[in-house]
Amino acid sequence: MALRLELYSPAHLTQVRRLNARLREGNVDPGFLLSENPRIQCPEDPLEKKPDAPFAKRQFLAVEDHDVRGGFLLQEQACEIAGETHWCANIQMPFSEGLVDPKFSHVAVRMFRLLLRDRPFVFAVGMGGAEAPFAKLLLAMNWRVALVPFRFYVLQPSRFLREIQPLHSSPTRSLFANISARSGLGNAVLPALQRLRMRPTLRLLAERIYQWDQGFSSDWSGYRRECSFGAVRDGTTLPFIFDLTDSRLFAYRLVDGEHIARGWLVLQVTTLRENKYFGSLCVATLLDAICEPTFERAAVRAAVDCARQQDADVLVTNQQHRRWIAASDENGFWKTPSNYVFATSPQLTQRIGTVDPEFTRVHLSRSDGDGRLNL
């Protein structure tokens, strides 16, 4: 029987339980297991029907021979693409039974082909690096796969030196990091090096906000012209992207000295425990920011100040747009290899490439997709 895509509904629960059992037997990471508490959706709505809401997330299953063989989450929303607004799909957490049984290695490819038949503009983010199986599969299917630059700013040097795991990858490096932390050398040197690389900027006041409204639509209206691609971030969609009832999220309106609104930013602040990269640091992530062109450097400086106010040890960010990369560099951020991937389907790649061949005006950050889950 041909593979088909169906919305996950309670009617699939028995099949899903059987699939989860097979995946467990194959020692698959629990993160790939499907929830056995399906959210009630509209089973009669096929993939061909677009959601009515401006932002929707639905779970699809790949069904073959009356059994579930794979699936994915599909986050659908309006996106700015080469000066036009189009409905776009962000595929998240795809998996197939091919993870444990080579007999089903075809499922992933066929699943993607079915998706692209109805959703030509599809992208994916995260994936754990360009060498991850998902990224390699997309590359083999002629998707554009590239890493989103990563930057970080040290706020508490001693704690950073003690906890950041790459500095403890060998006894020698670990000894040097610990001595620098305990002696106070790190507290003196790291901030000085960051200040040396800073460029002067005006100051923006960051005012904490607790809800979104239509007043934020004007920020996107002014910024969208700078983007070859980006998910729409207006007053209607922002509540779906950032739920400000989440205690980890801190959103700020950015205003200048005359109290004129210039943009906004959102931080996620998380105290980690024995993380493979950050140890037990308190990590602030600049999830996203939008501002009037030329205010990017001031916006990033405000993000540093806000992260410090939240007692974070380090501020991190992934940014694709050249303006935000430059703004981070000009605020003394450090660069290090990224494992955050941005992949675009062939048709989406072609459309973006007509105005931005190098993808330097793509607005993509850690807020897109499920990339914030690991932070």
**Domain presence at residue 130:** no
The verdict on 27 and 92 lying in the same domain is yes
**Domain presence at residue 154:** yes
The verdict on 311 and 167 lying in the same domain is yes
pLDDT in tens, 222-248: 999 999 999 999 999 999 999 999 999
**Looking only at Cα atoms, what is the longest distance across the chain?**
68
CATH number assigned to the domain comprising residue 332: 3.40.630.30
Could you tell me how many helices (H) and strands (E) the chain has, helices first? 11, 15
**Domain presence at residue 287:** yes
pLDDT in tens, 46-91: 566 666 667 788 899 999 888 999 999 999 999 999 999 999 999 9
**Domain presence at residue 59:** yes
The verdict on 255 and 327 lying in the same domain is yes
Residue whose pair of structure tokens reads 């999830």 in the numeric block: 287
Taking residues 287-314, what's their average pLDDT? 96
**Domain presence at residue 124:** no
pLDDT in tens, 122-181: 999 987 888 888 889 999 999 999 999 999 999 999 999 888 888 787 777 776 667 777
The verdict on 169 and 288 lying in the same domain is yes
Q: Do residues 264 and 251 touch, judged by C-beta distance below 8 A?
A: yes
Q: Do residues 199 and 326 touch, judged by C-beta distance below 8 A?
A: no
Name the token pair of 95. 């998996």
The verdict on 306 and 179 lying in the same domain is yes
The verdict on 67 and 163 lying in the same domain is no
The verdict on 112 and 191 lying in the same domain is no
The verdict on 169 and 212 lying in the same domain is yes
The verdict on 114 and 190 lying in the same domain is no
The verdict on 247 and 302 lying in the same domain is yes
The verdict on 206 and 267 lying in the same domain is yes
C-alpha closest to that of 316 among 375, 229, 361: 375
**Domain presence at residue 237:** yes
Tell me which residue range forms the domain holding 214: 150-336
CATH number assigned to the domain comprising residue 67: 3.40.630
What is the Cα–Cα distance from 284 to 240, expressed in whole angstroms? 21
**Domain presence at residue 155:** yes
- Note the pLDDT of residue 54: 72
**Domain presence at residue 352:** no
Domain count, the chain: 2
The verdict on 114 and 154 lying in the same domain is no
